[in-house]
Structure 1
C-alpha cells in the first residue's frame, strides 16, 4: 500500500488504514503556510534593504549577503534535507526546520549589527532548505491520483502568491512600524506563524513509515562542503569588490574553479558507489535535463536580481517609501502569477518554444524598464516602469513552470526526487550568483545623482543573464528540430528501412 494510506494519530504516529488520511487537507494547509514563509523571505526582505542599511549602518557587500546568503544556504541544503526526511522521518525534519526558521527569524529581527544579520540569514536559509523538500514529499505521501495533482497545484499557487505579496507586505509592515524599526517586523512576522505551524504540525503531520537510521554518507557532507566552498569562493571577490582593494581577490576565482572541479570529480566517484551523491551526474546524460538546469540557473541569476536593484533604486535613489517601492514591483509578480497557470497548460502543446517566447518577453520588459527610467526621470519612474515590468512578469510565468515540466519530462520516476532537488538547487545558487554580480555592478556605479545610471548598468547584467538563458533554450529547440529531421529522413530512406 502507498504511503498515502498512513494516518497520523494524536501524536502524529502512523496507524494503518484502508482509506485516505482524513486529516490530509489540514496537514497540507500546515505545509503550505510553512512553504509560504520560506519563499516569502526570498522577496520580502528586498524592500527592507534601505532601512537595514540606515538602521545598522550596513555596507553594500553585507546587503548583498543578506539576500544572496539566504538563497545560497537554502539551495545547498535542499537535497541532503530531502534524504534526511526520507530516512529519519519527514514530520521530525519538517518540525526541526520550522523551529530553526522561527528562531533564526527572531535573531534576524533582533540583529544589532550587519554581521549578526548576515549570519542569522544564513541559518534561516539552512532552515528553509530543511523545510522545503519535506513539503513535496509529504504531498506525495498523503495524496494520490487527482488529489495529488490538486495538492501540487495549490503548492504552486502558494509559490506564486508568496513572490507577489513579498515586496508589498514588506512595504506595509515598514509603513506601519516606521522606517527605523519596521524592517525588524519583516522578520518578526514569521514568529506567530512559525509557532502556530509547529503546534499543528505535531498534531496533523504523519510520520514516515520507512523512517530508520541515516548514515552520513547518505547525505554526502563532503560533496555539500565542496559545492558550498566553491560557490562561496566565486561570490566573495564579486560581493567584496568595493571593500577589498587590489586584484589579489580574483585569485579566489581560480580557487572556486578548482573546488568546483573537485566537486564534480567527487560526485562522479560517488555515482554508483555506496555514497549517495548530492548531484546525480548520470541525470546529465539527458540533454533536456542538463539544458533545462543550465537555463534555469542563468534565468534565476537574472530575474531575482531585478528586485534587489529596483528597490534600492526606488527607495535610496528616488526617495520612495518601502510601501511605494513594493507597489512599483508588484506588476512583475502579478504578471508572473497570472501567466504561470497559462504556461502550465500550454507547455504540452508548444514545448520549449514557449520558454523561448517567455525569455524574449522578459528581456524586452527589462530593456523597457531601463528606457522608462530615462524617459520619465524622477518620482514618476515607478509608474513608467509598471508596464514593462508587467511584460517581464508575464514572460517569467512562461519560463519557470514550463521549464520545470520540460526538464523533468524524460527523468525516470524513481529518480524524480533527486532530479527535482538538483533543479531547485540550481535555482538558488543562480539567485545567489546573480545578486552578487548585479549588485557589484550596481554599487560600483552608484553615487550622488547617479542612481539611474547605476540602475541601468545593473539591468544590463540582468538582461545578459536572461539572454544567456535564451541562447540555451534556442540550442535545445535547434537540437529538437535536428532530431526530428533526422528521424523523418531515416523513416523515408529505403536503404535505412531495409537495413
Structure 2
C-alpha cells in the first residue's frame, strides 16, 4: 500500500489519462462536419472515425487489464498512454479519411490499454473503506469528459477555424500526454506480485475468443447506419456463441492457470448487477450526446461551439454530485444509484416537455435546467455504481474486472447509439426533417434504457436488504 503522500499524485496522473482517453469518445462528434469538408470523407468514413475508436477501445479492455494485474500496471499504463499520444498526433496530421480512420483505431486500442489500469490502481493504492473518494473522482472524470467533449471540441474549432480546427481536437492530447507519461513512470508503483507464481502466463486462446466475440457483437452496432438490411444482426448471436465458448474455455483453463478473466466474479451479486446497470445506463447516457449534437448542429443550425455549450449544464451537474456520491456511497449503497437513475429519467422527461413547447431555436435555453437535473442524477449513478461493483473484487483481479466492466459499458454505448440513432433517423425520415420530433422520439428510447437500469438497481437493493435481514435472524440470540 503506497503512502498517503505518493498515492494521491499517482491517482491524479491516472485521472488525467482517463480524462484524455474518455474525452475522445465524445469530442469528435462536433468535429464531424469539419472533417467531412476538409478530407472529403463520406458517411461511411465519418462513421468509422466515430465508431472505430469505440470498437478497438472495447476489444482490448479485459486482456489489457489482466496483463496489468499480472505484470504490473505502471509499464502497461505508460506504454498505452505513449501510444495514445502518438496516435493522437497522427490523427491530427491526417491527409485522408483512411489515414484518420487508421489513427483512430490505434488511438482507441491505446485508450483501452490505459483505462483498466486506472481502476486497478485505485484498488491497489487504497483500502476498501477509502475507495469511495478516489472512485468518486474517477466517476466525475467519466461524467465530465463525456459531457464536456463537445464543448471543448466546439471551442477548438471556433478558435482555429472550421478547416483546421478539427485537427486540434486530436493535437490537444499531445501537450498533455507527454508530461503525463513522464509523471506516470515516476509516480506510479512498479510491478506488484499480483499474479500467482507459475500460473500467470497470458491466456492467448481466452484473449482471442473474447476479442472475436466482442468484435462480432459490436460490429453491427457501430455500423448500424452504414450496413443496410437485417443480415448484419446475425453477427450478434454469432458473437454470443463465441462468448459462450470463451466462458467454457476460461472455466477449464482456470483450473490449471490464471485465465484472462475469472468467471467466479460473476458469482458476486454486486459485480454482476453493477455491470448490468453500467451497460444499460451507458446505452442511454452516451446516446443522448450523439443525437443532441446532431439535433443542434444539423437541425437547428447552431455552431459546434454553441452545441457544446448547450450540453454544459449536464457536465456541471455531473461534476457537482460525482465526488459527493463517492463519499456517501458506502453509507447508502445501491439505493443511491437508484435515486440517481430516477433523477436522470425525470430530467430527460423534462427535456421532452420543454421541447414540446419550444421546439425551435430557443431549445438550448429551455433544456438547460432539465439537463442540469439529469447531470446531477448521472453523478450519483456512475461513481457509486463503479465503487459498489468493484467493492468485493480481489486486488489481484482488479484490472481484468474493471476491464470487463468497461467492456460492458462500451457495448452498452454502442447498442444505445445504434438503437437511439435508428429511432432518431427513422423519425427524421418519416417526418421529412422534423428534427424536434425525431429528437423527442430518441429521448424516449434513452429514457427506456435508464428505467431498465433502475429496475436492476432496485432488484439489487431488495436482494441486499433481504440478505441483511436473514443474517440478522441467523445471528440473533435464541429466545429464552
TM-score under structure 2 normalisation? 0.87
Cα RMSD over matched residues?
3.4
Q: Radius of gyration: which is bigger?
A: 1
2: CA distance, partners of 1:150 / 1:484:
25
> Where does residue 381 of structure 1 map in the other structure?
363
How much has 1:343 moved relative to structure 2? 1.9
The residue number in structure 2 matching 1:222 is 205
Q: Quote how far apart the aligned CAs of 1:71 are.
A: 3.0
How far does residue 217 in structure 1 lie from its aligned partner after superposition?
7.1
Aligned partners of 1:160 and 1:336 also within 8 Å = yes
Query: Contact 2:132–2:326 (CA<8 Å) still a contact in 1?
Result: no
Partner of 1:463: 447
Corresponding position of 2:406: 424
Cα distance change on mapping 1:161 and 1:358 into 2, 3 Å:
closer
Does the 8 Å CA contact 2:156/2:165 hold for their aligned counterparts?
Answer: yes
The Cα shift of 1:275 comes to 4.1
Match of 1:301 in 2: 283
1:166 aligns with 2:145: no
- Structure-2 residue corresponding to 1:315: 297
Q: Which deviates more from structure 2 when the two are superposed, residues 334-343 or residues 115-124?
A: 115-124
1:22-421 alignment to 2 at 5 Å?
Answer: 29-60=12-43, 62-137=45-120, 155=138, 157-202=140-185, 205=188, 207-208=190-191, 210=193, 218-278=201-261, 280-412=262-394, 414-421=396-403
Worse-matched range after superposition: 103-112 or 133-142: 133-142
1:454 corresponding residue in structure 2: 438
Shift of 1:476: 1.6
- Compute the displacement of 1:144 (Å): 7.9
Secondary structure of the corresponding residue to residue 257 of structure 2: coil
Query: Using the alignment, how far apart are the partners of 2:130 and 2:373 within structure 1?
Result: 33
1:412 shift after superposition: 4.4
Per-residue CA shift, 1:169-190, capped at 9, x if unaligned? Answer: 1111011111222112101111
Structure 1 residues 54, 387: closer, same or farther in 2, change over 3 A?
A: farther
- Tell me what 1:442 maps to: 424
Q: Which has the higher contact order (CA 8 A, sep 6+)?
A: 2
Q: CA deviation at 1:29?
A: 4.7
Instruction: State the shift of 1:415 in Å.
Output: 4.2
Distance in 2 of aligned mates of 1:368 and 1:410: 37
Cα displacement (A) at 1:287:
1.8
Is this contact kept in 1: 2:120–2:395, CA < 8 A? no
Q: Between 166-175 and 114-123, report the one with greater CA deviation.
A: 114-123
Q: What SS does structure 1 have at the residue aligned with 2:107? A: helix
**Structure 1 pair 431–221 and aligned structure 2 pair: CA distance change class (3 A):** farther
Unaligned residue ranges in structure 2 (runs of 5+): none
Secondary structure of the 2:409 match is helix
Judged with a 3 Å threshold, the aligned counterparts in structure 2 of structure 1 residues 446 and 219 are, in CA distance, closer, same or farther, namely farther
Q: Give the 3-state SS of the residue equivalent to 1:223 in structure 2.
A: helix
Structure 1 residues 341 and 185: alpha-carbon distance in aligned structure 2, compared to 1, 3 A threshold: same
1:49-85 Cα shifts (integer Å, max 9, x gaps): 3333444444555544434432342233233223333
For 1:142-198, what per-residue CA distance to the aligned partner results, in whole angstroms no more than 9, with x for missing partners? 778999887666555544543453222111101111122211210111122223334
> Per-residue deviation at 1:485?
5.1
Between 1:234-243 and 1:474-483, the stretch displaced more is: 234-243
Partner Cα distance (2:232, 2:144) in 1: 40
Q: Contact 2:66/2:260 (CA < 8 Å) preserved in 1?
A: no
Please tell me whether the aligned partners of residues 46 and 167 of structure 1 are also in contact (alpha carbons under 8 angstroms).
Answer: yes
Structure 1's 141 and 490: CA in aligned 2 closer, same or farther, altered over 3 A? Answer: closer
Q: Distance in 1 between matches of 2:213 and 2:128?
A: 41
Partners of 2:24 and 2:149 within 8 A in 1 = yes
Q: How many residues matched?
A: 478
**Contact 1:239-1:436 at 8 Å conserved across structures:** yes
Q: Give the secondary structure class of the aligned counterpart of 1:399.
A: helix
Unaligned runs of 5+ in 1: 5-19
Higher mean Cα deviation, 141-150 or 453-462? 141-150
